[in-house]
């Protein structure tokens, strides 16, 4: 990819063109990527159903939502691009969706490293307290 191609990509007339051409070079790769995201969301949903531990369920639910929404909206945007729907097929929308996917993923990594550890400690303290509290019958 040359510097001229990068300049063209960030040109507002290129990014915000409401009727981009139908010849999309990366359509098969993007289609495969979004289908893989949907498949991974199904796998994470199965893990979510099988796992009974409360703290890990929170992380699995976040991952499931991230993968499901990223894959499904990405496929819808690719469909609009393939069909040539005006304004819904702009390159800018797909570009922003991919950036949102990356940002959401970075938030999940931050959540796992910072907040999940705190939730796990609180859960362990709660389990320790439950040992000494009598359960009502």
Going 87 to 81 to 95 to 2, the CA torsion angle's sign is negative
72 vs 70: CA distance, rounded Å: 6
119 within some domain: yes
Q: Is residue 111 part of a domain?
A: yes
> What pLDDT is attached to residue 137?
62
CB contact at 8 A, 104 and 66: yes
> Is residue 18 within 8 Å of residue 86, measured between CB atoms?
yes
Question: Which residue is it, tokens 């690719």?
Answer: 78
- Specify if 83 maps to a domain: yes
Question: Do 90 and 24 touch, CB atoms closer than 8 A?
Answer: no
pLDDT, tens digit, 9 for 90 and up, residues 43-76: 999 999 998 777 888 888 999 999 999 999 999 9
Task: Look at residue 12 and tell me if it is in a domain.
Answer: no
Tell me whether residue 55 is in a domain. Answer: yes
Instruction: Provide DSSP, 16-59.
Output: T-SS--S--TTHHHHHHHHHHHHHHHHHHHHHHHH---HHHHHH
Mean pLDDT of 92-107: 93
Euclidean distance between the first and the last CA atom of the chain, given in angstroms as a whole number: 70
Q: Is residue 27 assigned to a domain?
A: no
pLDDT in tens, 113-127: 888 888 888 878 887
Quick check: is 14 in a domain?
no
Which whole number is the average pLDDT over 27-33?
93
Structural domain including 96 reads 33-132
Count structural domains, the chain.
Answer: 1
In a domain, 9, yes or no: no
Whole-number CA gyration radius for the chain: 21
């Amino acid at each position: 990819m040359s510097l001229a191609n990068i300049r063209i990509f960030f040109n507002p007339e290129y990014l915000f063109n409401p009727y981009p051409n139908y010849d999309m070079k990366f359509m098969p790769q993007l289609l495969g990527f979004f289908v893989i995201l949907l498949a991974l969301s199904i796998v994470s949903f199965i893990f979510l159903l099988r796992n009974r531990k409360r703290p890990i369920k929170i992380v699995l639910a976040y991952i499931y939502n991230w993968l499901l929404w990223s894959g499904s909206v990405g496929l819808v945007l690719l469909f609009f691009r393939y069909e040539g729907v005006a304004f819904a097929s702009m390159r800018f929308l797909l570009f922003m969706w991919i950036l949102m996917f990356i940002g959401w993923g970075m938030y999940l990594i931050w959540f796992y490293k910072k907040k999940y550890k705190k939730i796990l400690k609180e859960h362990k303290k709660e389990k320790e307290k439950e040992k000494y509290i009598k359960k009502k019958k």
